[in-house]
Structure 1
Amino acid sequence: MKRFLPAVLLPLTLLLAACSGTSSADDSGGGGGSVDGKGSLTLNVGDQKGGSEAVLRAAGELDDLPYKIKWSTFTSGPPMLEAVNAKAVDVGSVGNTPPVFAAGADSKITIVAATHGSSRGEAILVREDSPLTRTTDLKGKSVAVAQGSSAHYQLIASLKEAGLTLDDIEVTLLQPADALAAFTSGKVDAWAVWDPYTSQVLQAGQGRVLTDGEGVVNGLNFQVAAPSALADKAKADAIGDYVERLRRAQDWVFDHPEEWAKVWAKETGLPYEVALDAVKLTHGTRVPVALDQLAVDSEQVIADTFADLKLIPRRFDIADYVDDRFNKELPPSTSPARSYGKASSR
């Protein structure tokens, strides 16, 4: 088992950096394809492998489209939002941190939809034989984390809850592949990361959870659109329809976790058992929710935190980057995440 984990995880560094607030030079997007629907309108959608297109197709939500979709595949959220800013992408899905970095850079982006899910997959991991048993034990220890990622914020928030700050630990800024090597070799004492990496480490028996993000981070994911697309009535209508299809697809995932795990495993190269654990731990728990004041306030906390740390260049009001026209009759952003019970790796 200890041999299979690095081989599986390495390609995922190109797949699941959506939570990352930084990107390498080759994270510029590319690939993709198109889905032909009725009508002449084409909606340009940003995606990641095993992401929106895969789940929409699996749920049958790409049938009878009243418009066409041109997909562009990106390796992480930040370059996708760069494409949104450049009007090359009309809408795309990201985690809770990339919009903060994009808005901090004064990019032209607008958050238009949200889901709320479990944050149990956002975890600080330690090796099985580690003497560390609680967050306060991290004082003076080294922790690997991807800079500007949702895991970075979860680390900060978890430390704060334990009465610590980043100054109390040795932060080692590493992307997942390098972090895994440092973690398993003992070069760092802990690793702050997100699912499915969390599920992979637990499945391989190479670590355990010291603490996770449940009750610490907001558990939100977003659809982010280009303001220019929202200003075009036809495109805005298409974005509204697209968002609604994604909401129905998310409901389908909850009702069909095993079926979606098979699709996701095939799309991403994850072992089925890891994919199923990740679905039950995080990805299948998401509930479509309203972009309400509570969501805005929780994102403002993230924005202010990174501004205070000078990881983004300015302070700003996240409300200036939110459009709630597609809220409909959705539950509040703090609605409980769906639960399958404990995933098998727990």
Structure 2
Amino acid sequence: MRKAMPAALVTALAVHLLAGCAENRTAGAGTDTTGAEIPEKVSAGTVIAVGSPETKVALQLSGQIDELPFKVKWVQMSGGPQCSEAFRAGELDVCSAAEVPSIHARWTGLPTKLVAAEFRKDPHRNPIYELGIAPGADIDTLEDLRGKKIAYSPGQAQGALVLRILARAGLTEKDVELVELPSTGDVYPTALGSRQVDAAPLGGVNIKRFTTKYGKEGGKTIKHGLRDDPAHLWVPTESVNDPQKAAAIREFVKFWARAQVWIDEHPKEWVEGYYVKDQGLSREDGEYLVRINGTSDIPADWDPVVERHQKTVDLLAEKTGNEPFDAETLFDRRYETVAADAVADGRKGS
């Protein structure tokens, strides 16, 4: 496999290639008005496009989807790369994503905001990712990564996690070979199984499937010991600059939060309705995912969230050569307590 370009060079190229598109999008966003008061009511004719497939299924299964006081155009996408391109094209208003896409968007000239935050209770017992180790790679600890080939996806959560893992092991990207690969689908498990890379962060059912398929040959996973669980609702600044869309997004955040609680409280229905019927997984795989995912933690105070985000900004800036910035600028504080209040109100009502 061709050796990856340095991350700083990749970022510079991305900035150059996307400059024209980003300039148009920035111009369309106009002045940031996210300090303005959000209207109390949403016009019934308001439409927002949402990329959060899990939320759609949870609202359907819980019977809440018909209670939305506005129109939602559901888009079958989530995550940084797909959603950022949809934001640029003006085709998406809300997306489910981790923390890195908002940072990467800032560096490529795309104005965005974070309007909801979710973590996992007991995140060290229930991490999202484990470090997959290829058969025969001779890696038993994080320190053994020195000199090894590691799958790396800049602009995504897995890429930032790799940099954190190296720092925890007392290593830098110069001590390893970072191989740029997209982290979608089964790309990482396949690259590990074929020995294209020695290590790669694996999440969800890929952890179980990789060890089942390659365990007899020596394939395994090891714990990284880091918190890797931030999840957000992410929006283009242009959408929250629009008063009616801002109000619709506020109401959607409430439904999203209650959907997370419903998932936690109805594991059997979630396994059957989402993992089996919607995603086509086996019931065994669905039960495995529910077990490792743990339960949701939706904070009402974003100060620790912003502090964590800032550490990620600073880490990525150092490693990629981009300019650090104040992470506070990525958060729309008008939405700070919306999700947590909705959860509290829902529990009182039940």
| Fold-level similarity (TM above 0.5) | yes
Unaligned residue ranges in structure 2 (runs of 5+): 1-13, 15-41, 341-350
User: For 1:58-97, what aligned pairs fall within 5 Å after superposition?
Assistant: 58-74=61-77, 76-97=79-100
For 2:228 and 2:309, how far apart are their aligned partners in 1?
Answer: 8
Among candidates 223, 226, 231, match of residue 211 of structure 1 = 223
Q: Hey, what does 1:42 align to over in structure 2? A: 47
Moved over 4 A (4+): 127-130
Q: Hey, what does 1:296 align to over in structure 2? A: 306
Contact 1:114–1:290 (CA under 8 A) maintained in structure 2: no
For 1:202 and 1:318, how far apart are their aligned partners in 2?
Answer: 37
Among candidates 136, 142, 160, match of residue 149 of structure 2 = 142
Q: Hey, what does 2:242 align to over in structure 1? A: 232
For 1:199 and 1:249, how far apart are their aligned partners in 2?
Answer: 26
Aligned-pair CA distance for 1:322: 0.8
Q: Hey, what does 1:323 align to over in structure 2? A: 332
Q: Hey, what does 1:153 align to over in structure 2? A: 160
Q: Hey, what does 1:109 align to over in structure 2? A: 112
For 2:331 and 2:78, how far apart are their aligned partners in 1?
Answer: 24
Paired letter, 1:143: I
Question: Superposition RMSD on alpha carbons, in Å?
Answer: 2.7
Aligned-pair CA distance for 1:54: 1.5
Aligned-pair CA distance for 1:88: 2.7
Q: 1:52 to 1:203 in 2, by over 3 A?
A: farther
- 234-243 vs 247-256, greater mean Cα deviation: 234-243
For 1:235 and 1:75, how far apart are their aligned partners in 2?
Answer: 19
TM-score by length of structure 2 reads 0.74
Counting aligned pairs with the same residue, the percent is: 25
Paired letter, 2:273: V
Paired letter, 1:219: D
Among candidates 307, 310, 317, match of residue 317 of structure 2 = 307
Unaligned residue ranges in structure 1 (runs of 5+): 1-21, 23-36, 332-346
For 1:146 and 1:272, how far apart are their aligned partners in 2?
Answer: 30
Aligned-pair CA distance for 1:73: 2.2
Q: 1:329 to 1:181 in 2, by over 3 A?
A: closer
For 1:260 and 1:38, how far apart are their aligned partners in 2?
Answer: 32
Contact 1:78–1:102 (CA under 8 A) maintained in structure 2: no
Aligned-pair CA distance for 1:113: 0.6
For 1:90 and 1:304, how far apart are their aligned partners in 2?
Answer: 27
Contact 1:113–1:324 (CA under 8 A) maintained in structure 2: no
* Other structure's SS at 2:298 match: strand
The structure with more radius of gyration: 2
Q: 1:110 to 1:85 in 2, by over 3 A?
A: farther
- 158-167 vs 67-76, greater mean Cα deviation: 67-76
Q: Hey, what does 2:257 align to over in structure 1? A: 247
Contact 2:79–2:98 (CA under 8 A) maintained in structure 1: no
Aligned-pair CA distance for 1:203: 4.6
Contact 2:127–2:229 (CA under 8 A) maintained in structure 1: no
User: For 1:152-191, what aligned pairs fall within 5 Å after superposition?
Assistant: 152-176=159-183, 177-191=186-200
Q: 1:330 to 1:239 in 2, by over 3 A?
A: closer
For 1:72 and 1:232, how far apart are their aligned partners in 2?
Answer: 20
* Other structure's SS at 2:233 match: strand
Q: Hey, what does 2:348 align to over in structure 1? A: none
Q: 1:60 to 1:179 in 2, by over 3 A?
A: same
Q: 1:226 to 1:147 in 2, by over 3 A?
A: closer
CA offsets 1:89-146 (integer angstroms, 9 cap, x no match) = 2222111211111112121211111001236121211246654221111112222233
